Structure 1
Amino acid sequence: MVIPDELTQLISAQDGLVTRRQALCAGVTPAAIAHALGRGRKWQHVTRGVYATFTGPLQPRHHLRAALLTTGDGGVVSGAMACRAYGLRYVPETAETVVLIPERSRRRTTPFVVVRRTTKMPESRDIAGIPTASPEQAVLDVCRGMSSLRDIRALLCEAVQRGLTTPDRILTMLGDARWKGSGLVRRSLDDLTAGCRSAPECELRDLVRRSTVLIEPRWNALLPGTMHRIRPDACWPEARVVVEIDSAEWHRFGDSVERTERRRALYASLGWTVVPVSPRRLREEPDAVLREIEAAVAAGLARTA
């Protein structure tokens, strides 16, 4: 089968896929299409009306491209695949990829992705040839299918910590929307607005708020009273106490043992007490952790009185 140059260029731009309408409009006959799919075995079906012009295995990107071709012009990718395109790691394996289409469009079912109509199409950006929703839209579309507060916190914190978006922008995008799990998103955004930047820090904040003696600490703020640009996870300046969560997993790059030692030696030289806490202890021994923090803050206040 001879494919016109114009169609060849279009197929290349569409990751090797073509719609039946595109092929027919370019002059490919129905018989030629049938032969390529049948005896010729040069093409394969991807979904209704969309063909792959190769016989190798289909990748997730091909299914995504097929969904965009099926839904027509104006579709924007959001959800799981959009988050992964931005480099986010804390996307649940079960999270759905969403294709957003204008409300006026005729909704078509397509495998592998969820097609959702919206009255307000988000701004999109081109990522490797795929129209992709903004980071805040992408994470919210993933959160719509999540019920774990810890997982929602991890995803939102990662998006903010990596500088892809801000709590305010996510909150603005969320607006007055109400769906299952939206309350967990708002709770997580409250933690982010307070300054928390990881799921364990949010859990530490939950723990501190249970205390009858502790006030809210400063979260990820510059250590006061020093020229050193150091930001502890949480600190009580009046007591000169900091809490650091020992977990490379939940931080953007993770600290080496040596870097952690140098930082804690600096705290000691400046007269600050460090209370190290692991995410596991936060989950498994919360009462003991809270007592340790309360005792450290009480001792610090007594020293500075």
Structure 2
Amino acid sequence: MDKISELLRDQDGLVSRRQALGLGLQQHDLKRMLRRRELATVHPGVYVEHTGPLTWKQRAWAAVLHAGPGSALSHTSAVRIAEGPGRRLVDDRDIEVAVDADRNVTPAHGVRVHRLRDFTDRALTNLGPPRIRYDDAVLDVALDAPTRLDTVAVLADACGGRRTTAQRLLRTARSRSRLRDRAWLVGVLEDVAEGTCSVLEHGYLDRVLRPHGLPEGLRQVRRARGGTTTYSDVDHDGLVVELDGRLFHDSADQRDRDLGRDLSAAVDGVETLRIGYGQVFRDACATAAAVGAVLQRRGWDRQPTRCADCPPAEGD
């Protein structure tokens, strides 16, 4: 019983039938402990040492024990176990576990199983409970996001929490033999890691400007003032659009530099709009309307056109 007690302590009060029998208990011992309510069944063959509600971590242990040896927390659950409580409101979701692609796991309530071809390379089986590496789990969650903006939000959350960097996520993405939407995802991470905005620039052109008949402007316009040279992402004849592709809030110094650049541009009669992923990939039509209105105020004598995604105008 000492070994069982030690295992229960190491696994947050959870034990599997396989483990208990392997430590010398008999089937009748387990039946007796269940009858006396010393153990309670969570999943078939998985027990907890109390009869009350389970914590999130106990649910995670129960899911891994149900899936058996060679399983690990994955996706949102792997991110949650790495970040700890308080960072994410995911405790009411199913526990996600991964197993090797050639394994089948019996379904269980509250457990979602993923089969991975490269499970061995991604899993940290020496940790308790075992889990998929954080960077891999973040990419899996990002790829499961319903929209591209949600994908960016997942990446931003991970980088903003300082548990990883765009460079690390980029290396992990490049190492994957299979990666859905690879070109776009790698492009976003390259932009952030290398300080460019090619994905955002392309989205601004193809989702905001062209479908709405807005002038495309000039790109990377060079300006020199007071011995300092700056480059504007897009210049619409004095209306500058700065595309902000950063995934998380930068330091106060970086923000001050941005504001200083905007202030210098204003002195030269240049108006600056700052546009990020949300304005391009979620609110492209509204962004186009806003840019068009500013351009009209500055003398543009045309009207933005409506694309297929634009909401109906009043009176339509």
TM range (shorter): 0.5 to 0.7
Q: Is 1:12 the equivalent of 2:12? A: no
Question: 1:79 offset after TM fit, Å?
Answer: 0.6
Quick one: structure 1 residues 244 and 226, their matched pair in 2 at CA, closer, same or farther if it must change by over 3 Å?
farther
User: TM-score under structure 1 normalisation?
Assistant: 0.67
- CA distance in 2 between counterparts of 1:28 and 1:244 reads 64
Instruction: Please show how residues 1-305 of structure 1 align to structure 2 within 5 Å.
Output: 4-38=1-35, 40-87=36-83, 97-121=95-119, 122-125=121-124, 129-143=128-142, 145-160=144-159, 162=162, 163-164=164-165, 165-173=168-176, 175-177=177-179, 182-183=180-181, 186-195=183-192, 206-209=203-206, 210-211=209-210, 213-214=216-217, 235=233, 241=240, 243=242, 252-253=248-249, 263-265=258-260, 267-269=262-264, 273=270, 275-277=272-274, 283=283, 285-291=286-292
SS of the residue 2:21 aligns to: helix
**Contact 1:124–1:133, Cα closer than 8 Å, also in 2:** yes
Quick one: structure 1 residues 264 and 25, their matched pair in 2 at CA, closer, same or farther if it must change by over 3 Å?
closer
- CA distance in 2 between counterparts of 1:84 and 1:192 reads 22
Bigger Cα displacement from structure 2, 204-213 vs 273-282? 273-282
Bigger Cα displacement from structure 2, 143-152 vs 287-296? 287-296
**Contact 2:124–2:131, Cα closer than 8 Å, also in 1:** yes
Question: 1:46 offset after TM fit, Å?
Answer: 0.7
Question: 1:149 offset after TM fit, Å?
Answer: 2.1
Bigger Cα displacement from structure 2, 162-171 vs 43-52? 162-171
SS of the residue 2:140 aligns to: helix
Which consecutive unaligned segments of at least 5 residues does structure 2 have? Answer: 300-316
Question: 1:97 offset after TM fit, Å?
Answer: 4.3
Question: 1:58 offset after TM fit, Å?
Answer: 0.8
Quick one: structure 1 residues 6 and 127, their matched pair in 2 at CA, closer, same or farther if it must change by over 3 Å?
closer
**1:212-250, Cα deviation, whole Å (9 max, x unpaired):** 5335559xxxx999999x9x9x7459x9956276xxxx9
- CA distance in 1 between counterparts of 2:217 and 2:108 reads 53
**Contact 1:79–1:138, Cα closer than 8 Å, also in 2:** yes
Question: Aligned AA for 1:137?
Answer: D
- CA distance in 2 between counterparts of 1:95 and 1:224 reads 53
- CA distance in 2 between counterparts of 1:86 and 1:48 reads 27
- CA distance in 1 between counterparts of 2:18 and 2:147 reads 43
- CA distance in 2 between counterparts of 1:153 and 1:110 reads 31
- CA distance in 1 between counterparts of 2:188 and 2:247 reads 16
**Contact 1:80–1:96, Cα closer than 8 Å, also in 2:** no
Quick one: structure 1 residues 203 and 81, their matched pair in 2 at CA, closer, same or farther if it must change by over 3 Å?
same
User: TM-score under structure 2 normalisation?
Assistant: 0.65
Quick one: structure 1 residues 287 and 153, their matched pair in 2 at CA, closer, same or farther if it must change by over 3 Å?
same
SS of the residue 2:115 aligns to: strand
Question: 1:50 offset after TM fit, Å?
Answer: 0.7
**Contact 1:243–1:277, Cα closer than 8 Å, also in 2:** yes
Q: How many residues align?
A: 276
Q: Partner residue of 1:303?
A: none
Quick one: structure 1 residues 55 and 215, their matched pair in 2 at CA, closer, same or farther if it must change by over 3 Å?
farther
Question: Aligned AA for 2:153?
Answer: A
Question: 1:101 offset after TM fit, Å?
Answer: 1.7
**Contact 1:207–1:286, Cα closer than 8 Å, also in 2:** no
- CA distance in 1 between counterparts of 2:83 and 2:155 reads 13
Quick one: structure 1 residues 276 and 69, their matched pair in 2 at CA, closer, same or farther if it must change by over 3 Å?
same
Give the CA RMSD over aligned residues.
4.8
